[in-house]
Amino acid sequence: MDPIRMLLFLSAAVCFILGLKLLGRADTARRGNAISALGMALAVIGTLFQIQGKSGLSLDSLLPVLIGVAIGAAIGVPVARKVQMTAMPEMVALFNGFGGIASLLVAWAALHVGMARVDDGLVAASTFLAMLIGGVTFTGSLVAYGKLSGKVTAKPVLYDGQNLVNGAVLLVVLIALVWFTAAPANYWLFLLVLVISLFLGVVVVIPIGGADMPVVISLMNSYSGLAACAAGLAVENNLLIITGALVGASGIVLTRIMCKAMNRSLANVLFSGFGAAEGAGPSGEGEKREHKAMTPDDAYYILEAAQGVVIVPGYGMAVAQAQHAVRELAELLEANGCEVKFAIHPVAGRMPGHMNVLLAEANVPYEQLVEPDDVNPSMEMTDVVIVIGANDVVNPAARDDTSSPIYGMPIIDCDKARTCFVLKRSMASGFAGVDNPLFYGDNSYMIFGDAKKTVEALLAEFKEALVA
């Protein structure tokens, strides 16, 4: 059976690599997800062959795996079908956490039942790291879930000497790692650091503000992969090593992209406590400014005459579930002779790729999606920009105000367009808690209300004109 198992594991690894490649584009992502799911099925079948080879074919040996698959499917299928797009970020956070706890349990089980050859220094260190990283990933992801879902405050939770405490904990962990690697018979060390790892996950994520959650999600995704890779080394499973390395590496790359999109280092995200202090906003202490409101009826006449429109989606579009109405509006604008683009900022929404997923769900053509660098140079020639629920990623204070907490973050230059419509429920600041001068610009008009209803009102105006 061993050649069959190896073939299944090799095929699973190929599926994971190909699936990850296809997930890089919106138009091939579904196929990539299906291929990755096939790879996981092959991995489970290969594991069943491995169990059969070790203990012989028996219901007692196969039943735990089959029960686990059944329970996972019974929970996962209905949850995946019912989850709202607004809740997708916290769902991803939970997935990362479950990946981490799975690696922790593999490492603990391998050590507890003697599967891990801890007399080998590399295996002992790998077992320890799988438990450590898995524990940090689990509790850290749970905190991220709480912040994203509103069950935990989105503001950074800070206290005096926090970095000193974290440093002391890390020092204890490093000493324990060296000690356990040299003397793996000290099982109590493993259990001690297991508890410490769960504590460390909380104290690492709780000081990070809600605005930085996209970075935290991608980082926890990387941690879950690293934990799986270490668990694979602990139990000497090549497929787990390959899969963990893929997830870990892709997560690190994505984290780097997220940090670059905010013009901040990873250390700044993890340790700065961004958003902890309340401020008067980027443009001055208590300065009173007036915004200009507009109705959808009036906005229609400007859009009807536009030759170029850029739509900038944000989390508000997800909350209103307006993506399908937005796609229909884009189609009507194009039928009216207008060029339409969707400008997607890498950190728009609550997780990496959040807006891309929403627009793909609404069947927006992939070719219409552009990055800020592609659209900013021509923004002054753009007739209308429609900002739908975005805030921090279109805040000109990041470009112009050196005193702003978000100064230096690359943004979409909506304030430079000829006309800017901002669709929001109120004048409230964004997730970063920073006021936005765009709302008060000479060329900016606020259209208050539910984004979906506002877009549907615009659609009604276009359809009425077509009938007439």
Q: Which residues are catalytic?
A: 392
CA-based nearest residue to 350, from 215, 207, 151: 215
Q: How far apart are CA 305 and CA 221, in angstroms?
A: 45
- CB proximity list for 49: less than 8 A, separation 6 or greater: 1, 4, 5, 8
408 touches 371 (CB < 8 A)? no
Rounded (5°) CA angle 98-103-108: 125
Name the DSSP class of 86: G
313 touches 359 (CB < 8 A)? yes
| Structure token pair of residue 325 | 């109405």
Q: In what order do the strands lie in the sheet with 369-370?
A: 369-370, 339-343, 308-313, 384-388, 419-424, 444-448
CA-based nearest residue to 55, from 11, 118, 1, 103: 1
Rounded (5°) CA angle 37-93-227: 70
Helix (H) / strand (E) element for 123: namely helix 121-149
The sign of the torsion formed by the CA atoms of 371, 373, 374, 376 equals positive
Residue 447: strand, helix, or coil: strand
Q: How far apart are CA 455 and CA 39, in angstroms?
A: 41
* Helix (DSSP H) and strand (DSSP E) numbers for the chain: 17, 6
Diameter over CA atoms, the chain:
84
Q: How far apart are CA 389 and CA 425, in angstroms?
A: 8
Q: How far apart are CA 317 and CA 452, in angstroms?
A: 8
273 φ, ψ to 5°?
A: 65, 40
Name the DSSP class of 293: B
Q: Any idea how long the chain is?
A: 468
Q: How far apart are CA 441 and CA 295, in angstroms?
A: 17
Angle between helices 323-335 and 451-467 (to 10 degrees): 30
141 touches 89 (CB < 8 A)? no
Q: How far apart are CA 320 and CA 128, in angstroms?
A: 45
